[in-house]
Structure 1
Amino acid sequence: MLFTEDFLHYLWKFKLFDMNGIQTTEGEMIEILSAGIHNFNSGADFQNARLRIGDTEWAGNVEIHLASSDWHKHHHTHDKAYNNVILHVVYQHDEDIAGMDGKPLPTLQLHNRIPADLYLRYHNLAYGKQQIIPCEGSIGTVKSMAIQNWLTRVLVERLQKKSEAVIERLKLNKGDWEETFYQFLAANFGFKVNALPFELLAKSLPQNILAKNKHIPLQVEALIFGQAGFLQDDFTDEYPQKLKTEYAYLQKKYNLSPVEKHLWKFMRLRPQNFPTIRLAQFATLVLQANHLFSKILETTEVPQLRKLFGNIVVNDYWLNHYRFDAESKSSAKSFGDASVDLLLLNTVSVFLYSYGSYHQQQKYIDRSLELLENLPVEHNHIVDDFYDLGVKAKTAFESQALLELRNSYCNHKKCLQCGVGNEILKFNVS
Structure 2
Amino acid sequence: MQEEFLHYVWKYGTFNTLKLKTTLGEDVTIRNLGQHNLNSGPDFFNAQLIIGEQLWAGNLEIHVKSSDWYLHNHQQDKTYDNVILHVVWEHDSDVFRNDNTIIPTLELKRYVDKGLQHKYRELMLSKSWINCEAQFPEVDDFLISNWLERLYIERLEQKSITIEGFLEKSNNNWEAVLFKMLLKNFGLKINGEAFLSIANSVDYSVIRKLRHNDLEIEALLFGQAGLLQDTIEDSHFQLLKTKYEFLKGKYKLDRSGMIPVKFFRLRPQNFPTIRLSQFASLYQSRENLFSKIVDVNSLDDFYKILTVGVSEFWKSHYTFLKNSKTSRKQLTKSFIDLLVINTIIPIKFSYAKSQGKSIDKEIFKLIQELNIENNTIVSKFLDYKPFKKNALTSQALLQMKNAYCDKNKCLNCAIGNSLIIKN
Question: What residue in structure 1 maps to residue 153 of structure 2?
Answer: 156
What stretches of structure 2 of length at least 5 have no aligned partner?
A: none
Aligned counterparts of 2:202 and 2:94: Cα–Cα separation in 1: 66
More displaced 10-residue stretch of structure 1: 245-254 or 374-383? 245-254
Q: TM-score, normalised by structure 1?
A: 0.92
Look up the equivalent residue of 1:296 and give its one-letter code: I
Measured in 2, the distance between the counterparts of 1:228 and 1:78 equals 53
Once the two structures are superposed, residues 64-114 of structure 1 have per-residue CA deviations (whole angstroms, 9 ceiling, x without a partner) of 111222222222224221122121111122222233332332221123432
1:329 to 325, 328, 337: 325
> Which letter maps to 2:301?
Q
CA offset at residue 267 of structure 1? 0.7
Corresponding residue to 1:367 among 348, 362, 369:
362
Tell me whether 239-248 or 132-141 shows the greater mean CA deviation: 239-248
Cross-structure match for 2:171:
174
The secondary structure found in structure 1 opposite 2:46 is strand
User: In structure 2, how many angstroms separate the alpha carbons of the residues matched to 1:170 and 1:224?
Assistant: 21
Separation (CA, whole Å) in 2 of partners of 1:212 and 1:72: 62
Match in the other structure for 1:422: 417
Instruction: Summarize the Cα distance change of 1:63–1:391 in structure 2 as closer, same or farther, 3 Å threshold.
Output: farther
Give the distance between the partners of 2:28 and 2:258, measured in 1 at CA: 69
Identity between Structure 1 and Structure 2 (%): 42
1 CA distance for matches of 2:70 and 2:194?
Answer: 51
Instruction: Check if 1:226 corresponds to 2:223.
Output: yes
Give yes or no for contact 1:387–1:393 (8 Å, CA) kept in 2. Answer: no
Letter in 1 for 2:345: S
Question: Where does structure 1 lack aligned partners over 5 or more consecutive residues?
Answer: none
Query: Contact conserved, 1:309 with 1:340, CA < 8 A, in 2?
Result: yes
Measured at CA, do residues 336 and 28 of structure 1 come closer, stay the same or move farther in structure 2, by a change above 3 Å? same
1:37 has 2:35 as partner: yes
Map 1:369-384 to 2 at 5 A: 369-384=364-379
Distance in 2, matches of 1:224 and 1:63, equals: 55
Q: Distance in 2 between matches of 1:59 and 1:212?
A: 62
**Contact 2:16-2:112 at 8 Å conserved across structures:** yes
Q: In structure 2, what is the Cα distance between the partners aligned to 1:269 and 1:175?
A: 35
**Distance between the aligned counterparts of 1:163 and 1:208, measured in 2?**
23
For residues 135-284 of structure 1, what are the structure 2 equivalents within 5 Å? Answer: 135-258=132-255, 263-284=260-281
User: CA separation in 2, counterparts of 1:179 and 1:376?
Assistant: 29
Q: 1:15 to 1:328 in 2, by over 3 A?
A: same
The more displaced of 350-359 and 406-415 is 350-359
Q: How do 1:368-407 and structure 2 match up within 5 A? A: 368-390=363-385, 392-407=387-402
- Seen in structure 2, the aligned counterparts of structure 1 residues 67 and 196 have a Cα distance that, compared at 3 Å, is closer
- 1:42 counterpart SS class: coil
Going from structure 1 to structure 2, the CA distance change for 1:79 and 1:285 (only over 3 Å counts) comes to same
- For 1:331-346, what aligned pairs fall within 5 Å after superposition? 331-346=327-342
Change (3 A) 1:261 1:72: closer
Q: How far apart are 1:326 and its partner, in Å? A: 0.8
Task: Quote the Cα distance in structure 2 between the aligned partners of 1:397 and 1:348.
Answer: 14
Question: Residues 321 and 327 of structure 1 are in contact (CA less than 8 Å); yes or no, is this contact kept in structure 2?
Answer: yes
Q: Partners of 1:188 and 1:70 in 2: how far apart?
A: 46
Distance 2:193 2:95 in 1: 54
Segment of structure 1 superposing worse, 242-251 or 194-203: 242-251
1:354 counterpart residue number: 350
Q: Give the alignment partner of residue 290 of structure 2, picking from 293, 299, 303.
A: 293
Q: Which amino acid aligns with 1:256?
A: L
Secondary structure in 1 aligned to 2:95?
coil
- The correspondence of residues 55-134 of structure 1 with structure 2, limited to 5 A, is 55-130=53-128, 132-134=129-131
Residues 297 and 94 of structure 1: CA distance in aligned 2, closer, same or farther (over 3 Å): same
Cα offset, 1:214, TM superposition: 4.1
Q: Deviation at 1:287?
A: 0.8
- Root-mean-square deviation over aligned CA pairs: 2.1
CA distance in 2, matches of 1:201, 1:419: 40
The one-letter code sitting in structure 1 at the alignment partner of 2:58 is G
